[in-house]
Structure 1
Amino acid sequence: MAIKDNEIVGLCLCVSVNKVEQQKIFDCQNEKYNKLVRLLDYADKQCDPFQIYPECSRGISVQVISVAKSCRGMGIATTLIEKASVLAKEKGYQFITIACTSLYSSKLAEKLNFRVKFSLDYTDYKENGQIVFKPDPPHTALTIYLKKL
């Protein structure tokens, strides 16, 4: 977390991913969020970091990176990802992955030397023949980035 004046202004939420564990699909009982979970699960299957890095057995997945609008452009997201990477490496994790749902998070990942491993235009992701996500430009794709630690 990033805190300013006793308020949380930034958050980086990471989860551990392991080669031997079968990842479960999360059901949060909210269809809006479940749509996003299904998209991320689809992307994970297309871009399995353990296939890309077969020598690795565990990594960190950034699930959420968010900064309050009033604090954007101050380097908070950069610092949060850098700190998460350092902590992950110290704890023996071998890679970090970020699923970027916006152009801004994609630019952040690229700035931090993450590499694109998968990209999916939102217009190409459909359920029952219907486009599921229609965000405003410039947010046109989900992009998965990886970085070996």
Structure 2
Amino acid sequence: MKLITEETPICEDLEKYTLKNFDSGLNLIAEHKNRIVGVCINSIIERDKPNENIFITDKKFVITASLLGYVEEQAALFQKYPEVSKIFDINILSVDTSYRGKGIGNAFCQKSKDIAKEQGAQLMSITCTSSFSASIAKKNGFEVVYELDYADYKINGEVVLKPEHPHKSIKMLVYSEL
């Protein structure tokens, strides 16, 4: 999504979005030699309990946040799963590029399943903006319930997100075997 670049190494709105659930006790961090090499930021979504919103001013993050909200609205998980009252959501699953392919993402998914069960969630969800995270989720038993090609997401008739290959769509996936 290019929210962080060499020219703009910090996106304060992304940090606020990430940190709003940081102290929940649901998150996972992978470290190697005193260096963080992966994070899995999680939250609980409850039926009839509003999500905590943050005020966003960064123009690029406004687009990303709008897309995430649109996907959540279109996926309509509580409507698709009327028996579910608590969803364990993997908000961010990220592994340093030099540590990918070493099982860290899979370990995050497995440990998140354990935490979700402990928390009494009946469903897990993850919105994948990357084909890499979607692949990890699928390998861990998650199924796609909603997908939108980036080329089809337009604001004022214009395609606003053009990620590099192989990232062609955003996907909402769920795991229902808790």
Normalising by structure 2, report the TM-score.
Answer: 0.80
> Match of 1:14, as an amino acid?
N
- Runs (5+) with no aligned partner, structure 2: 1-28
Partner of 1:133: 161
2:104 and 2:157 mapped to 1: Cα distance? 39
| Aligned counterpart in structure 2 of residue 45 of structure 1, from 73, 93, 114 | 73
> Hey, what's the Cα distance between the residues in 1 that align with 2:144 and 2:90?
15
- Of the three residues 59, 79, 82, the one matched with 1:31 is 59
Moved more, 45-54 or 26-35: 26-35
**Is the strand fraction higher in 1 or 2?**
1
Aligned length: 149
TM-score (norm 1): 0.95
**Aligned to 2:47, which of 15, 19, 34?**
19
Is residue 27–residue 34 contact of structure 1 (8 Å, CA) maintained in 2? Answer: no
**Per-residue displacement from partner, 1:81-131 (whole Å, max 9, x unpaired)?**
111111111111111101011111111111111111000000000111111
Q: CA deviation at 1:29?
A: 2.4
Which runs of no fewer than 5 residues in structure 1 stay unpaired? none
2:135 corresponding residue in structure 1? 107
Q: Which has the higher contact order (CA 8 A, sep 6+)?
A: 1
Q: State the 1:25 CA deviation.
A: 4.3
Determine which of 92, 98, 104 is the counterpart of 1:76.
104
The counterpart of 2:120, out of the listed 84, 92, 101, is: 92
Q: Which amino acid aligns with 1:56?
A: V
Of residues 128, 141, 146, the one that matches 1:118 is 146
Contact 1:26 1:37 in 2 (8 A): no
Q: Which residue of 2 aligns with 1:60?
A: 88
What do the CA deviations read for 1:49-88 (whole angstroms, capped 9, x no partner)? 1112111111111111111111111000110111111111
Superposed structure 1 runs of 4+ greater than 4 Å apart = none
